[in-house]
Structure 1
Amino acid sequence: MTARTTIEGRAAALPIANLDTDQIMPKQFLRGIDKAGLAGGLLRDLRFDAAGRPRDGFVLNRPAFAGVNVLLAGPNYGCGSSREHAVWGMRQFGFEAVIAASFGEIFYSNAVNNRLLPAMVSPPHAQALLAEASGRDDPLPLHIDLQTLSITSPSLTAPFVLSARHQQMLIDGLDLLGATLRRQHEINAFAARHAAAQPWLKDVAARCAG
């Protein structure tokens, strides 16, 4: 993973409230033993009809929107189940950010841990961005600054909310494991202090297992 401070976005609008993870990644795409092929399952029932034909009116099927990397979504995006496949599918499809007024809590955490920016903006800013994008025949250009936590479109600049820890993870290109390992020296020092103060607890699990 590489560090970055900005995302140059081409955004598509999907103004559907409460779009849950079952719709983002339907259950039939959860059967694999790895992450491969999930881009094809992303928003499957919205993108394709029952016969597997692309729906002409759906924004991500329009030729002008090929290669979009930002989704402007309705409120409570990613609610429902905890399936991380929803985030994996979005990343495989090419999305780098989702902008919405609110997110499902587990989806939000999964997104940050997979370098998908969940940019939470105020409801008025979310509506303004959706309206601006919906009035176009091509993707809405956006500049997302991870340092200033701001989104700039042709007509407005909107701040978004992100904790300092998540902000640093996204800038540095780290998942939770990488962020933890960065503090390995602090973890080792704590373990040494703990063992010195309470030596009878050192490696107690290993000793009991033996």
Structure 2
Amino acid sequence: MLDLHFTLRAAASKLRRLPLPALLMLATLPCFGQIDLSQSVILAPADLTKAADTLSDEIRQHTFLSWPVSSAAIATDIASVRLRVDTAVPGPEGYRIRTAGRRIEIAGTDKRGVLFGVGRLLRSLDWAPGRASLAEPLNVEAKPATPLRGHQLGYRPKTNSYDGFTVEMWEQYIRDIALWGNNAIELIP
């Protein structure tokens, strides 16, 4: 353990001497064994456009990458995230995520399930400007424990934040809590 400690300290010392552009370049490189999704395409039927656009927008906002949305099939060597409804997924608003190589499939019992699956994928990604990857294959199935999951949002000067939100900030906040699996909001004065 002692030798490893000194080895790590020596490596950290050398990294500190690198110029900032070199450090930034290192930060954008995927680590060994990671699944690089930086050049992905989102495949979704027309009825799942909202979930597909949400995924594309969040990726662009956090990584500056463009994941185009398509309803057509693509070549097998291209990284992709496929969205679909599958009533075999257990539970209302449930989802299943499967990874095969650089292909990810998010299947939801319904449209909300697909959106919640998109949120799970976003929370599982390792990202930085110009990079998006998974540390390991993501194979998960989940369904909500309760039918109603939400937040109570107070719009008044006593909360020290909500009264200062812009419309764009409200939209992002509501999108974020939806991606975390919430399906209800109560607005109170």
How would you bin the TM-score normalised by the shorter chain?
under 0.3
- The structure with the greater share of residues assigned to strand is 2
Higher relative contact order (CA 8 A, sep 6+): 1
**TM-score scaled to structure 2, two decimals?**
0.27
**TM-score scaled to structure 1, two decimals?**
0.25
